[in-house]
């Protein structure tokens, strides 16, 4: 019963369980990107997890989420037995209890059905959270999470979830970004008002570093720099908006900061195209490889960020941008000042970032790497599949 159906093209069947937009965040966007790629050597059968419609609903209990949880389990059973699928692809949650409990229900109910399990750690740190749980939940986690066929992590600086979960195989595949730069390159012109345009984009919560950035901008203004900071993203929780606006006032930045809220699609790309530099001083617990930095590099923006997990892989200090320790407001201000004062340095770092993006972080490369993992774990060889075409 568990053997995949015979197929003239011999493509392996993969049950793809994951979140796709909405809400719009790195993990959901990457899942949608992989599904849209129409992998030539693999049959993907998607089961969408849609527990939240907005970012501020993530990690919050709702009765509707319980009903959806059972819907996801039923769909997994349906596709498993309809297509005889042997490989489960699943992105575990980050280190939040309510999200881990959700994973436990799904994985304990379904993982035993599959010969292979691939965990893609878009959110890092679950293996660090498990030892902190009570003994009963820890044992349930061992049954649900441990000994997967493979763990895919995003960087060598990511949490070592592969070792923590005793994975049989480990792969490193960085995230990617679509190349939308050329469509908007005509907008890349000096600002008429002479201000240096700085940009922050991402979920607006304290651990993503937005308050540290605003305090650094307060110091930057005292040093005499003329700038504008555009802030884009959804507030998590929604009440955090008031704290951001209060910090803007406290730092005397009302004439320097524009808070846009969530910005998507072409509006987002226009902000990227008209920016001079990007800043993302995150220390978010489940941060692994923020795609917003890749988008900034794609648009030739030098990046000021933190030495935090996969960010250290993305930004080369002194070449494509600057890295600081987490919560180091003075260092953030210092690097922003250097970039504000030196247009040639901004251009040099921006060009280096664009070159790094094209070499390492295109969607094509990401998709090919993930497909190769599917083929390897599912037991199919690309050479055998090519014989069928």
> By three-state DSSP, how is residue 17 classified?
strand
Distance in angstroms between the alpha carbons of the first and the last residue of the chain: 28
Burial class (CB in 10 A: 0-12, 13-18, 19+), 126: buried
Mean pLDDT of 356-379: 96
Give me the residue spans of the domains in the chain: 13-176+362-386, 181-360
Q: How far, in Å, CA of 224 to CA of 375, rounded?
A: 56
Quote the mean pLDDT of the chain.
91
Q: Based on the number of CB atoms within 10 Å of its own CB, is 370 exposed (0-12), middle (13-18) or buried (19 or more)?
A: buried
Find the helix packing angle between 329-341 and 343-360, rounded to 10°.
110
Phi, psi of 196 (to 5 degrees): -80, 125
Q: Which pLDDT value is given to residue 187? A: 80
pLDDT in tens, 266-315: 999 999 999 999 999 999 998 999 999 999 999 999 999 999 999 999 99
| Dist. CA 281–CA 322, nearest whole Å | 11
Extract long-range pairs of 104-108: CB within 8 Å, 24+ residues apart. 104/137, 104/140, 104/141, 104/144, 105/69, 105/73, 106/17, 106/69, 106/72, 106/73, 106/76, 107/144, 107/145, 108/140, 108/143, 108/144
3-class secondary structure, 354: helix
Instruction: Kindly tell me if the per-residue pLDDT of 161 is higher than 60.
Output: yes
Residue with tokens 């691939």: 118
The reported pTM is: 0.88
Task: For the chain, state the CA radius of gyration.
Answer: 22
Q: Comparing 13-176+362-386 with 181-360, is the CATH topology the same?
A: yes
Of 100-104, 156-160, 171-175, 383-387, minimum mean pLDDT range? 383-387
- Note the pLDDT tens digit of each residue in 196-253: 999 999 999 999 999 999 999 999 999 999 999 999 999 998 999 999 999 999 999 9
Helix 63-83 / helix 97-110 crossing angle, nearest 10 deg: 30
The mean pLDDT value for 17-33 works out to: 85
- Let me know if domain 13-176+362-386 sits in CATH 1.10.3470: no
| Sign of the alpha-carbon dihedral angle for 225, 230, 233, 236 | positive
Q: How far apart are CA 27 and CA 17, in angstroms?
A: 12
Q: Decide: 16 and 48 in contact? Cβ < 8 Å.
A: no
Q: Which residues contact 30 (CB under 8 A, 6 or more apart)?
A: 122, 175, 176, 291, 366
The encoded tokens of residue 202 equal: 């991402």
Residues facing residue 243 across a β-bridge: none
Angle at 125 between CA 124 and CA 127, to 5 degrees: 125
- Is 387 a residue whose pLDDT tops 60? no
Query: pLDDT of 115-160, one tens digit each?
Result: 999 999 999 889 999 999 999 999 999 999 999 999 999 999 988 9
* 78: its two tokens: 């349906």
Tell me if the domain spanning 181-360 has CATH number 3.30.230.70: no
pLDDT tier at 381, thresholds 50, 70, 90: low
Per-residue pLDDT at 6 = 41
State the angle between helix axes of 135-145 and 97-110 in degrees (0 to 180), rounded to the nearest 10: 50
380 has pLDDT over 70: no
Write out pLDDT tens, residues 59-84. Answer: 565 666 788 999 999 999 999 999 99
Q: Dihedral sign, CA of 152, 155, 158, 162?
A: positive
DSSP string for 360-381: H-BHHHHHHHHHHHHHHHHT--
Q: Is the pLDDT of residue 388 over 50?
A: no
Q: For residues 341-349, give the mean pLDDT.
A: 97
pLDDT at 2: 43
Distances (CA, A) of 347 to 147, 167, 198, 338, 351: 47, 43, 14, 13, 6
């Amino acid at each position: 019963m568990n053997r995949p159906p015979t197929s003239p093209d011999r493509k392996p069947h993969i049950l793809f369980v994951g979140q796709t937009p909405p809400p719009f965040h790195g993990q959901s966007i990457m899942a949608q990107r992989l599904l849209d790629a129409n992998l030539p050597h693999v049959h993907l059968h998607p089961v969408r997890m849609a527990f939240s419609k907005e970012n501020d609903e993530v990690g919050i209990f709702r009765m509707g989420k319980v009903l959806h949880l059972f819907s996801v389990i039923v769909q997994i059973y349906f596709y498993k037995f309809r297509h005889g699928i042997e490989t489960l692809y699943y992105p575990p949650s980050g280190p939040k209890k309510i999200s881990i409990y959700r994973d436990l229900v799904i994985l304990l109910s379904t993982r035993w059905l599959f010969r292979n399990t691939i965990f893609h750690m878009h959110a890092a740190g679950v293996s660090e959270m498990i030892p902190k749980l009570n003994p009963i939940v820890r044992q349930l986690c061992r049954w649900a999470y441990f000994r997967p066929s493979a763990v895919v992590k995003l960087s060598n600086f990511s949490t070592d979830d592969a070792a923590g979960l005793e994975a049989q195989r480990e792969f490193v595949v960085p995230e990617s970004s679509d190349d939308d730069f050329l469509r908007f390159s005509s907008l890349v012109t000096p600002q008429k008002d002479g201000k240096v345009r700085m940009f922050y984009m991402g979920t607006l919560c304290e651990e993503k570093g937005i308050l540290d950035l605003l305090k650094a901008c307060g110091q930057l203004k005292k040093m005499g720099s003329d700038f504008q900071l555009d802030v884009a993203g959804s507030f998590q929780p929604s009440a955090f908006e008031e704290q951001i606006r209060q910090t803007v006032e406290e730092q005397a930045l009302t004439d320097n900061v524009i808070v846009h809220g969530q910005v998507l699609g072409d509006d987002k790309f226009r902000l990227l195209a008209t920016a001079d530099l990007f800043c993302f001083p995150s220390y978010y617990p489940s941060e692994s490889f923020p795609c917003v930095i890749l988008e900034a590099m794609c648009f030739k923006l030098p990046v000021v960020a933190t030495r935090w997990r996969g960010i250290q892989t993305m930004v080369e200090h002194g070449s494509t941008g600057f890295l600081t320790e987490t919560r180091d407001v003075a260092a953030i201000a210092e690097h922003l000042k250097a970039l504000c004062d030196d247009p040639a340095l901004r251009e040099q770092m921006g060009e280096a970032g664009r070159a790094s993006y094209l070499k390492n972080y295109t969607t094509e490369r990401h998709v090919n790497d993930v497909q190769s993992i599917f083929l390897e774990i599912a037991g199919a060889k690309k050479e055998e599949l090519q014989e069928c075409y």
